[in-house]
Structure 1
Amino acid sequence: MQVNQYLKMKSIQLMEFQPHLLSIYCWRIINTSPVLNGMNIILRKKDGASMRRIIDSESGITLISLLLALSVLIMIFPLLNQMLSSIEKLNTSASIDTLAIEQFYYFLENELNHSEKITLATEKITFHRKDGSIVTYSKYEDKLRRQSNDLGHELLIFNVLSMKTFQLNDHAFQLTLQFRDGEFHEKYLLFPYLIESL
């Protein structure tokens, strides 16, 4: 916007500043320069009198607008972080579900706590529970399954290429799972009683 048009728009403010000023047109613009929240205008009357006026502008930055902008940024950053982490999880969705693996290990540890005897085979772990039941974890086709007393089965993990057990000593063994996508998972488990191997 040109300065003259701006002055015409703000002529009422100039009249309030100099009440004896009858018309904005009897003044001549000498110099203009922008300031933080407006425009510094130096006017000179034809008879030599001069006036300096800072006309306020609505486009300035105030403390409230700055605080509002900062609060919006503070609210956006956690959402941005959450969005980026969910995008990263989408990229790794092709890998084996780690929650299913952690749940499988939880089931194994639960069986260890309720068993009095364990028998290890190449792709099979048998738990002899204190209540007399026998629980077996074994590889079935490309799945890991849980059977209780050789009746039915619960499928726990899919896309399993191999399941291997290795007895480390009388009270510890290693379980290694290999998946079709090439991933390996190992778990070391401890048992207070003697472990038998077939």
Structure 2
Amino acid sequence: MQNQQPLVTVRYRIKNSAGFTLIEAILTLIIATCMTTLIPIVILSLHSILDLSDMSLTSEWTIFRNQLLNEYNHSQSISSISKESLCLTSTKGLVCFTKYQDMIRKQINNKGHEPLLFQIKDIDIKKANHAIKINVELSNRTIQTMQLPLHPEVNEQ
């Protein structure tokens, strides 16, 4: 006879890895439920953060407007008006409000750097109808406008 090797049958116990156990399915369901309940909370938080950032721009505008009005009311005359700057003559000297990069800053006698309004895209300052009209476009695309009445000596000129 030929040399035959005996057939050896080895049985391995194969663990059932084709699916999930009931405990794994329940844990997955619990985790998914917790995550879906947190989504509205996260969305509301993001909306409130965005609203606060808009409020900060509005409050910055209000502060800038008040500071400019204060300087304007205490000034003696208007030195110069251009598209991006307004210079006033006062007891402090020459006070200029100019656009610098993405902000409006205040300088006294061309010295110093006092930022007053941040995140601006554009500013337009012009003299029109016995007033100085200032339009500022903020980074959130809103446009803020203010008017300053001209000093009497400027109205006469």
Aligned to 1:92: 51
Q: Is 2:99 the partner of 1:139?
A: yes
Alignment partner of 1:101 is 2:61 = yes
Report the structure, 1 or 2, having the larger strand content.
Answer: 1
Q: Give the whole-Å Cα distance in 2 for the aligned partners of 1:89 and 1:164.
A: 31
- Residue identity opposite 1:122 in structure 2: K
Identical amino acids, percent of aligned pairs? 24
Gaps of 5+ in 2: 1-45
Residue equivalent to 2:141: 182
Scaled by the length of structure 2, what TM-score is found? Answer: 0.62
Which of 99, 114, 118 is equivalent to 1:154? 114
Greater mean deviation of Cα atoms: 110-119 or 145-154: 110-119
Query: Which residues of structure 1 form unaligned runs of 5+?
Result: 1-86
Question: Which letter maps to 1:147?
Answer: Q
Letter of the structure 2 residue corresponding to residue 164 of structure 1: D
Q: Judge conservation of contact 1:145–1:153 (CA < 8 Å) in 2.
A: yes
| Paired residue type of 1:153 | H
Give the number of equivalent residue pairs. Answer: 109
- Residue of structure 2 in register with 1:192 after alignment: 151
Q: For the Cα contact (< 8 Å) 2:87–2:97, is it kept in 1?
A: yes
Q: Secondary structure at the match of 1:153?
A: strand
Give the AA of the match of 1:125.
L
Please name the residue that 2:125 is paired with: 165
Is the CA contact (8 Å cut-off) linking 2:131 and 2:148 kept in structure 1? yes
RMSD over aligned Cα atoms? 2.3
Secondary structure, aligned partner of 1:144: strand
RCO comparison, higher one (Cα < 8 Å, 6+): 2
Q: Contact (CA 8 Å) 1:112, 1:191: kept in 2 or not?
A: no
Structure (1 or 2) with the greater helix fraction: 2
